[in-house]
Structure 1
Amino acid sequence: MPVLRQITTCTEPSTVVIERRVRTRDRSVDYRLEVCRRHRWLASNWTGRRSAEGSGGRCGTVMDYRPYAQIVQSHADLWLRPLAANGPEDHDGDLAAALRAGFEFLTAHREPTGVAIALEHAARITEAIAAGALPLVEGQAQVLAALSAAETLDAGARGA
């Protein structure tokens, strides 16, 4: 199941496409990122074939086809750690603890923003999955949706 991520709030059409192809039985693409000329610097952390072929979608759109754990790791590496100075590996792999630490970092000296609230919500969902209160697949989809919303809200707050 692909996951839509939006890493900018830019409404310009994309001019650059970064697509990472893989050779696995269940999928042929890991992800496809589209950015406009002004935001092409965001693509520096994404590896894959770069082209203008097939561009024209909205800037900042990522269609992510990777498994749950890889998408979460991508959020942690490319977004959560730069934003909140921590990731799951700082909490013995505990995603909920990392998300809570991010929430606490973002709210330490100010009122919660939409980004912080979405992180805290993702932490609660992760805990519900671990407790068996939510089915695994449905819960994971909710975690990814909350992380995607947080990432998009952060992009808007940063003016990206």
Structure 2
Amino acid sequence: MPVLRQIATCTAPSTLVVVRRSRRKERDVDYRVEVCARHRWLAEEGWGKSLTGEGAGGRCGTVVDYRDYDQVVQSHSDLWLRPLATHGPEDHGGDVALALAAAVEFLVGARAGREAGGVPAALGHAARVAEALAAGVLGVEEGQAQVLAALSAAETVAVADRGA
């Protein structure tokens, strides 16, 4: 099931696309990133440098991610969670819920005396869903879909907060 991610708040139409072809039989594409010329650097930072104009025309900053749950979680961690909140699953024995809870704690502490904001709230929700998933409260497919949706929402809010 593809996951929609938004890595920029730019409303310009995309002119460049990164398409990472999959080496797995069950899917043709790992992800597709669309950016405008001004935000080309977003696609080049972590998504790959094989930009093409082929198939462009969506909205700048849109990512459609077809990878497996663990790969998408790792991508979130590598590309924005760790730089933002210094925590990733690998710091917590691979436990996504613990990593997200630690990231929330870090962000709330970093914003001491100010309103915590939407990113910690969205990450907190993702942490609670990941915890329910690990405890078997949610089915695997449904739980993973909810974790990824919450992470995507948190990433979108983080992008808006930093004005990217």
- TM-score bucket (shorter structure): over 0.9
Q: Give the partner amino acid of 2:137.
A: A
Q: Distance in 2 between matches of 1:131 and 1:124?
A: 10
- Which TM-score applies when normalising by structure 2? 0.94
Q: Distance in 1 between matches of 2:145 and 2:139?
A: 10
Q: Give the partner amino acid of 1:59.
A: C
Work out which of the residue numbers 120, 123, 146 in structure 1 matches 2:124: 120
Q: 1:148-159 counterparts in 2 under 5 A?
A: 148-159=152-163
Q: Give the partner amino acid of 2:154.
A: A
Q: Give the partner amino acid of 1:157.
A: D
Given that 1:75 and 1:147 are in contact with CA atoms closer than 8 Å, whether structure 2 keeps it comes out as: yes
What is the count of residue pairs matched by the alignment?
Answer: 160
CA offset at residue 48 of structure 1?
Answer: 5.8
Q: Give the partner amino acid of 2:82.
A: R
Aligned to 1:92: 93
- C-alpha offsets along residues 72-109 of structure 1, whole Å, 9 cap, x if unaligned? 00000001001101111111111111101110111111
Q: Give the partner amino acid of 1:152.
A: T
Q: 34-43 or 138-147, which moves further after superposition?
A: 34-43
CA offset at residue 23 of structure 1?
Answer: 2.8
**Where does structure 1 lack aligned partners over 5 or more consecutive residues?**
none
Aligned to 2:22: 22
Displaced runs of 4 or more, over 6 A? none
Q: Give the partner amino acid of 2:53.
A: A
SS at match of 1:5: strand
Given that 1:126 and 1:143 are in contact with CA atoms closer than 8 Å, whether structure 2 keeps it comes out as: yes
Given that 1:19 and 1:48 are in contact with CA atoms closer than 8 Å, whether structure 2 keeps it comes out as: no
Q: Give the partner amino acid of 1:136.
A: V
Q: 1:16-95 counterparts in 2 under 5 A?
A: 16-44=16-44, 45-47=46-48, 49-95=50-96
Q: 62-71 or 49-58, which moves further after superposition?
A: 49-58
Given that 2:100 and 2:127 are in contact with CA atoms closer than 8 Å, whether structure 1 keeps it comes out as: yes
Q: Give the partner amino acid of 2:16.
A: V
Given that 1:16 and 1:37 are in contact with CA atoms closer than 8 Å, whether structure 2 keeps it comes out as: yes
